[in-house]
Chain A
Amino acid sequence: MREEQSASQSKTPIILSWLVILAVVWLLWSGIYKPLVIGLGALSCLLTLYLSHRIGFFNESTSIHVIPRIMGYWWLLFVDIIKSSIDVTRIILDPKLPISPVEVELESAPKGPIGQAILGNSITLSPGTVTIDVYKGRMRIHCLTEESANDMIAGKVNERTAELTEK
């Protein structure tokens, strides 16, 4: 009983900050400031909070500390995406279509579920590599060419994701 209380107390600031975020999003997107519409907005914010509580969203959000660190990671990913997009474009427009599909099985450096989700999505996000299976910390990745596979392995995405989530 006491444990539950302390848990709910530590959750309160998280729930309140989400309420503020939802309210700001509603106000920005609706653009109509009449009492009826704002009342409906308040209702839907509360409903959203209740539904997120029911699916256990607030139990998982302890990893909110990732967000400030993620900016540098996004820049790395952005550069990666541009480079691999140009490579894939060159391959698609080449009349000979020089593809050499490779499936790579990679051991993921991040161990937690959030780190693995971020890693898998980052790999899928950069063209030329698609994550097709995640099983017990191992990723099966389909690559369009040998080069894209080598770039993906040589690139520091795996290690960077581990640094991002586990410190």
Chain B
Amino acid sequence: MLEQVLYVLSWIMLTVGGFFVLVGGIGALRLPNFYTRMHAASVTDTIATFLVLGGLLLQAGLTIATVKLIAILVFLLLTGPTASYALANAALLSGVKSNATFRKVNGKGSKSGAGQETSVNQETDASQETSASQENNEEQSK
């Protein structure tokens, strides 16, 4: 009885995982610019990985394969965001444009001196953005 439940559950997890993998692939092809494509890759990196490896875990039972699967899962979930951040930050520094509206939110935590910080930060942001646009212009002129 329990075996059958686990079998059906792993079947569902694997199929839904495959569905999310497919969605990520479609998104990577359909979405219009670099930063939005990162969100599609993020879907396959988190929920799809979790569901596929989770489904395999239920199939494995309690063997050495279980330990290895858990290790792969933990490793992928730890390194995925790190690689994404490195990629996004490299793209930002090299001036890839996002076409996004900009919004500033102050944390609810520490409010002391927040006004000063934001004003300073706005200036640095403006300079960053101008330097990025200059770089873009240079690339276009080349």
User: What residues make up the interface of A, taking CB atoms closer than 8 Å to B?
Assistant: 28-29, 31, 81-82, 85, 88-89, 92-93, 97, 99-109, 120-122, 124-133, 138, 140, 142-144, 149, 153, 158-159, 162
A159-B109 contact, Cβ under 8 Å, with A101-B35, A103-B102, A132-B35: yes
The CA-CA distance from A133 to B92 in the complex, in Å, is: 8
The CA-CA distance from A126 to B50 in the complex, in Å, is: 12
User: Looking across the interface, which residue of chain A has its beta carbon closest to that of B99?
Assistant: A101
A107-B36 contact, Cβ under 8 Å, with A92-B23, A124-B42: no
The CA-CA distance from A158 to B108 in the complex, in Å, is: 9
User: What residues make up the interface of B, taking CB atoms closer than 8 Å to A?
Assistant: 20, 23, 26-27, 30-32, 35-36, 38-40, 42-43, 46-47, 50, 64, 67-68, 71, 77-78, 80-82, 84-85, 88-89, 91-92, 98-110, 114, 117, 121, 125
The CA-CA distance from A105 to B92 in the complex, in Å, is: 14
Q: Are A81's CB and B100's CB within 8 A?
A: no
User: Looking across the interface, which residue of chain A has its beta carbon closest to that of B43?
Assistant: A127
Q: Are B46's CB and A85's CB within 8 A?
A: yes
Q: Are A109's CB and B101's CB within 8 A?
A: no
The CA-CA distance from A51 to B47 in the complex, in Å, is: 34
**Which B residues are CB-close (under 8 A) to A107?**
105-107, 109-110, 114, 117
**Which B residues are CB-close (under 8 A) to A149?**
103
Closest chain-A Cβ to B105's Cβ sits at a distance in Å of 5
User: Looking across the interface, which residue of chain A has its beta carbon closest to that of B44?
Assistant: A127
The CA-CA distance from A125 to B117 in the complex, in Å, is: 28
Known pairs A102-B101, A105-B105, A125-B80; list 15 more (Cβ under 8 Å): A81-B46, A85-B47, A89-B20, A92-B23, A92-B27, A101-B101, A102-B102, A105-B103, A105-B104, A120-B81, A121-B85, A130-B42, A153-B105, A158-B107, A158-B109
Closest chain-B Cβ to A162's Cβ sits at a distance in Å of 6
Q: Are A93's CB and B109's CB within 8 A?
A: no
**Which A residues are CB-close (under 8 A) to B110?**
107, 109
